[in-house]
Every structure is written in C-alpha cells, then in structure tokens.
C-alpha cells in the first residue's frame, strides 16, 4: 500500500521541483508574472519566497504543474538539440488546434492546468515515430 511521503521527503520533492521550475523559467525567459500563472502562485512576492526557500511546500496541483513543465521542457529538448528552437516553439504562434493562432506559452498561461496537460500530451505524440 502506498504511504504519503514523509514531511522531509515531501519538502525535498518540492525543493527539487522548484529548482527545476526556476531553471525552465530562465530558459523560457518567463517574467515573474508568467511564472506565477504557470505554477499558480498568488504573487511575485510569494514567488520570490519560493525562490529563496522560505515558502511552504508546493501543493499537489503545483507539483503536477511543475512536473508537466519539466516534461514539456524535456520533450522540447529531445526533439531539438538547439535551445533556441525549443524557445521558438514555445513563443511562436501556431495554427490549428489546440492553439488556434496563439503561442503554446500563451495557451498554457491562459488555460492553466488542462492546457499544460494538453501540450505535454501533444509533444509526446509528436515525438513518437510514425
């Protein structure tokens, strides 16, 4: 039977997820407000507390968001060795569903967790050999 993580293990998981998230945010050149929206953090001030390790551990939803962003980042880098290409994929408007002319980043910022899941699934489908 699965047991909930101990407080120490949960804190470690949360801190690892945050380190990975902040590295992704830097690669994607996200503003503090964009970071807050993607991770569902109430304000840039609270975001800074997370960055300094002074905030409570991430909620289950925030951990899922951080994991999805890590999966998206991993998929983008698996598809292309150039970080510039991954950045361009995120920031460039894309035709067709689900983006309908928006950039993947804007789509995720506007639609939240369902969009993060959708983009992660899309990239996994695109990376499978046909």
Where in the chain are the domains?
A: 7-127
pLDDT in tens, 67-111: 999 999 999 987 655 678 889 999 999 998 999 999 999 999 999
Look at residue 52 in the predicted model and tell me its pLDDT.
93
Q: pLDDT tens, 36-68?
A: 999 999 999 999 999 999 988 899 999 999 999
Which residue is associated with the tokens 């470690």?
12
Mean pLDDT of 112-118: 97
What's this model's pTM, rounded to 2 decimal places? 0.85
């Amino acid at each position: 039977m699965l047991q909930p993580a101990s407080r120490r293990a949960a804190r470690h998981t949360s801190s690892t997820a945050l380190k990975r998230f902040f590295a992704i945010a830097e690669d994607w050149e996200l503003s503090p407000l964009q970071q807050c929206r993607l991770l569902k953090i109430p304000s840039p001030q609270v975001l800074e507390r997370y960055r300094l390790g002074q905030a409570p551990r991430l909620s289950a939803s925030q951990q899922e968001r951080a994991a999805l962003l890590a999966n998206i980042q991993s998929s983008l880098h698996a598809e292309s060795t150039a970080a510039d290409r991954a950045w361009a994929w995120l920031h460039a408007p894309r035709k067709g569903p689900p983006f309908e002319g928006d950039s993947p980043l804007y789509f995720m910022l506007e639609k939240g967790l369902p969009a993060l899941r959708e983009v992660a699934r899309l990239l996994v489908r695109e990376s499978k050999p046909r």
